[in-house]
Amino acid sequence: MIKAVWTLAGVALLGTAGGIWLLVTAPLGSEEVTVQQAETGTPAAPLLTPGPGVNLWRWMDVSVLIPDEPGMLAWPDTAYFDDGSESRPALLVVRDDDLADSANRSYASIDALTGKIHRSEILDEHLVEMELVLGTVNVSAFDPATAPWPYNSDPPPPSTTTWPSIRPDPATGMYASFSQGVSGYSGTPPPWVECELVLGGISVSNGRSHAFVGLDPVSGAVCKDLSNVLPEDLAAFDRFLEREALCDLQNAGC
Alpha carbon distance 169, 149 (integer Å): 6
Please report whether residue 150 resides in a domain. Answer: no
Please report whether residue 208 resides in a domain. Answer: yes
Q: Please indicate, yes or no, whether residues 175 and 243 belong to a single structural domain of this protein.
A: yes
Residue (of 38, 35, 14) closest to 24 by Cα position: 35
Q: Is the pLDDT of residue 3 over 70?
A: no
pTM of structure: 0.74
Of 8-22, 123-137, 167-181, 190-204, the range with the lowest mean pLDDT is 8-22
Alpha carbon distance 90, 92 (integer Å): 6
- Strands (E) across the chain are located at 2-8, 11-16, 19-24, 34-37, 54-59, 62-67, 72-80, 87-96, 105-111, 117-121, 138-139, 175-180, 200-205, 210-215, 222-228
Q: Where are the alpha helices (DSSP H) in the chain?
A: 127-134, 234-244
Amino acid at 142: F
Please report whether residue 129 resides in a domain. Answer: yes
> What domain range is 194 assigned to?
170-249
Q: Please indicate, yes or no, whether residues 132 and 196 belong to a single structural domain of this protein.
A: no
Please give the residue that has the higher pLDDT: either 139 or 38. 139
CB contact set of 53 (below 8 Å; sequence gap of 6+): 2, 3, 4, 5, 15, 67, 68, 69
Alpha carbon distance 147, 177 (integer Å): 20
For the stretch 79-106, pLDDT in tens is: 887 666 678 899 999 998 776 676 789 9
Please report whether residue 161 resides in a domain. Answer: no
Query: Among 139, 159, 191, where does a domain finish?
Result: 139
Q: Please indicate, yes or no, whether residues 104 and 181 belong to a single structural domain of this protein.
A: no
Q: Give the model's pLDDT for residue 104.
A: 84
Query: Among 123, 139, 155, where does a domain finish?
Result: 139
Please report whether residue 100 resides in a domain. Answer: yes
Angle at 165 between CA 235 and CA 216, to 5 degrees: 70
Query: Among 118, 139, 160, where does a domain finish?
Result: 139
Q: Give the model's pLDDT for residue 125.
A: 92
Percent of the chain with pLDDT over 90: 45
Q: Quick count: other Cβ atoms within 10 Å of Cβ 198?
A: 21
Q: Please indicate, yes or no, whether residues 123 and 174 belong to a single structural domain of this protein.
A: no
Please report whether residue 8 resides in a domain. Answer: no
Q: Please indicate, yes or no, whether residues 214 and 130 belong to a single structural domain of this protein.
A: no
- Counting the structural domains of the chain, the total is 2
**Mean pLDDT of all residues belonging to the chain:** 78
Q: Is the pLDDT of residue 204 over 50?
A: yes
